[in-house]
């Protein structure tokens, strides 16, 4: 049996960027002859308080523990047939750990999401930004035996860097047998507009503050935020739900319209459109910023809606709130799109082919 060591930032099952990419295929890999060991940098205790104020001692201890784990990983890497790195080996400092990981790995797969080679404009902590080095990512892209990317734009960029010219775009994917529609597409209740994400993506949610304030003047609706942080939007009927794996499906099924706001800059060109795909799997009409990968997933007024300006957002959301038939038409088409293009059954073989080629 071939052995894979997965080196990743977060614990199993809590981060959407991991859950809805490679994590959901571990059982499939095992069925096809691979023994999978996962080594997250952060433990669950640190993850739960990472984006909350305070808890500095716990955070520092958690990060130091992560570096200790990576040192231990370095001593066992040679015992694995493939090392699968998602995003980074360590979050801060130089590319020392990345270079050592590459040097000691028999074969290395580098899985990258977002356009991380571009400075992240929404990094709210300048001190943290100074601690990070672009060289970590660049070295892994350049030297990996295979690079897996989250968007076509990012894939083209990596092809220009990778020495072996082996880069593959693999979309985020969904378990369509778990993420099931439950929407009646009716207005016999207050329509719920929903957004899901973590504290790190809260800056995108903030783009819609003025949109919802204006929309509230035009029609009745409830706004549901599912995340790992508190949120306030005075004057708007707001419902904040703390994300849990156990309640994720039920909480999402209680939404009528999904929103996916993004900045219009280079950073988002590397985003996979994961949130849009997630809403669509539940048969929800999605309103999304027309940028990056999004228009390759959503066709305007066929399986969702694409917008650019705040006025577009308000007008489109108002139209969907007032028209349950339109929500049903777009939502059903969205679900069909996900089943045909972004379901586990469609995507899983792409990962396996890469692993098999390296072994």
First to last CA, the chain: 11
Q: With beta carbons less than 8 A apart as the criterion, state whether 85 and 91 touch.
A: no
Condensed to tens digits (0 to 9), the pLDDT of residues 119-174 reads: 544 444 554 554 667 789 999 999 999 999 999 999 999 999 999 999 999 999 99
Residue 196: pLDDT band with limits 50, 70, 90? very high
Residue 118: pLDDT band with limits 50, 70, 90? low
Percent of the chain's residues with pLDDT above 70:
94
Domains and CATH numbers, the chain: 2-173+344-358 (3.40.50.2000), 192-341 (3.40.50.2000)
pLDDT value at 117 more than 70: no
Query: Which residues, in sequence order, are CB contacts of 167 under 8 Å at separation 6+?
Result: 146, 147, 148, 149, 155, 158, 159
| Residue whose tokens read 């404009």 | 121
pLDDT of residue 235: 95
**What is the 3 state secondary structure string of 60-122?**
HHHHHHHHHHHHHHHHHHHHCCEEEEECCCCCCCCCHHHHHHHHHCCCEEEEECCCCCCCCCC
Q: Which of 72, 156, 75, 150 is nearest to 110 (CA)?
A: 150
Length of the chain: 359
Burial-class residue 137 by CB neighbours within 10 Å (0-12, 13-18, 19+).
buried
Condensed to tens digits (0 to 9), the pLDDT of residues 249-274 reads: 999 999 999 999 999 888 788 889 99
pTM of the full structure? 0.91
Condensed to tens digits (0 to 9), the pLDDT of residues 292-322 reads: 999 999 999 999 999 999 999 999 999 999 9
Give strand pairing partners of 40.
Answer: 8
pLDDT of residue 122: 46
d(CA 139, CA 12): 26
H or E segment at 193?
strand 192-196
pLDDT of residue 38: 99
């Amino acid at each position: 049996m071939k052995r894979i060591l997965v080196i990743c930032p977060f614990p199993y099952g809590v981060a959407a960027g991991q859950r809805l990419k490679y994590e959901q295929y571990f059982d499939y890999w095992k069925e096809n002859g691979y023994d999978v060991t996962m080594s997250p940098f952060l433990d669950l205790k640190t993850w739960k308080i990472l984006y909350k104020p305070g808890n500095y001692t716990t955070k520092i201890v958690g990060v130091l523990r992560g570096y200790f784990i990576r040192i231990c990983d370095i001593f066992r890497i040679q015992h694995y047939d493939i090392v699968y790195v998602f995003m980074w080996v360590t979050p801060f400092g130089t590319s020392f750990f990345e270079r050592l990981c590459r040097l000691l790995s028999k074969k290395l797969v580098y899985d990258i999401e977002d356009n991380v080679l571009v400075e992240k404009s929404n990094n709210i902590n300048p001190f943290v930004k100074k601690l990070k080095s672009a060289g970590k990512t660049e070295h892994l892209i350049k030297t990996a035996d295979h690079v897996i990317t989250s968007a076509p734009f990012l894939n083209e960029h990596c092809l220009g860097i990778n020495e072996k010219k082996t880069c593959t775009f693999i979309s985020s994917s969904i378990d369509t047998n778990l993420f099931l529609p439950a929407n009646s597409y009716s207005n016999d209740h207050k329509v719920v507009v929903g957004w899901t994400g973590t504290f790190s993506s809260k800056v995108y949610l903030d783009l819609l503050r003025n949109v919802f304030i204006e929309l509230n003047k035009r029609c009745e609706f409830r706004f549901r935020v599912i995340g790992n942080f508190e949120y306030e939007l005075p004057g708007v009927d707001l419902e904040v739900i703390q994300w849990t794996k156990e309640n994720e499906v039920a909480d999402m099924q209680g939404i009528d319209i999904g929103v996916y706001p993004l900045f219009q800059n280079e950073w988002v060109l590397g985003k996979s459109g994961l949130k849009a795909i997630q809403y669509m799997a539940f048969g929800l009409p999605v309103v999304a910023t027309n940028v990056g990968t999004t228009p390759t997933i959503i066709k305007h007024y066929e399986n969702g809606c694409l917008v650019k300006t705040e006025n577009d957002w308000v007008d489109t959301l108002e139209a969907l709130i007032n028209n349950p038939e339109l929500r049903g038409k777009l939502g059903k088409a969205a679900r069909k799109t996900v089943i045909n293009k972004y379901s586990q059954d469609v995507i899983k073989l792409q990962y396996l082919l890469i692993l098999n080629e390296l072994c």
